[in-house]
Structure formats: structure tokens, C-alpha cells
Amino acid sequence: MGICWYCYWGWSKPVAAIYKKALDALCGWEGPLHFGPSHLVWEDENFGSAEWCLAHFDEYKRDYTVAELTIVKQSLEDLAKLPLDIRCVEPEDYEGEHPELFPPPIDIEMVKESQYSGNATNTGYYQITAKIDYTNITVHPVSEDKRCIL
């Protein structure tokens, strides 16, 4: 098994900024980004797949809310606007070993995960929402100041 190049070097700063913006809008909850319609991009780090994810968005909505899906879609649209040479900076000749020997392009600023990733654990604050018939209750994390309701 190889060593993840992006785990070693991080993501390009513009890519990380898009992810951070979406993650902040989701109050730090990574689920919709990593396991919904943008799985190929944000979980698998295939940043060149934003257009494919947008084209197939409706096929992978799962049970996320409209608000969550709107944030995810916006992140993909923002990513698709970036040139591929900014999104996909992993060297083509990298084969999974010794990432330190395969630096990113010198003109690309990289950001380590600790600088763009949120805290995947919740803060203990929840909003309870229910369908009209009150038979299906779903719990969603919200921010402590209640500004971010999912």
C-alpha cells in the first residue's frame, strides 16, 4: 500500500479554501462532503473529478438535507472553476512511495490538513427536525451560537 501524496504535502491553498468554506458552512460536519455526491473529490482527493460529480450529483444525494446538498454543490462548482493545474498538483510520476521526493510545483502554496479540516466531532448542540407526520425524527449538529442550522 502506498503513501498518500496529499496526506504528506497537503492540498493547494485554493482547493483547501473551498473545502474550508464548505466545512464552515456545515458547522464542521464532514459527512455531506465526504460521503455524498462529492465523495470522489473530498474523500478520495480526486480534485479533477468535480465536473463528473456535478454531472452525477442527483444520483448520489443520499439522505442529506437540501441545505447540506446546496453547500456541497457550491463547493464542487467553486472547485470546477479552478484550473486543473491548481486542483491536481500531485506529480504524475508519483507511484505511492517516498512523497518527500515528489514536491508540488514550486509556485503552488500547499496547506496541511490541520489548517483546513474541521473537528469531525460535534459540539454537543443539536437541532431536532421532524417530518410533518412526526414519525421520522432526524438529529443534526448545529453551532453553539445557533447560526448554522443544517
Question: Which residues make beta-bridge pairs with 29?
Answer: none
Where are the chain's structural domains? 5-121
Contact between 4 and 97 (Cβ < 8 Å): no
Of the CA atoms within 13 Å of residue 74, those in its CB half-sphere come to 16
> Three-state SS for 88?
coil
pLDDT band at 122 (very low <50, low <70, confident <90, very high): very low
Taking the model in full, what pTM does it have? Answer: 0.77
**Digit-coded pLDDT (tens) for 77-116:** 999 999 999 999 999 999 999 999 999 999 999 998 776 6
Q: How far is CA 81 from CA 75, 133, 141, in A?
A: 10, 42, 30
Pairing between β-strand 126-130 and β-strand 11-12 as defined by DSSP bridges: unpaired
Burial of 92 (0-12, 13-18, 19+ CB in 10 A): exposed
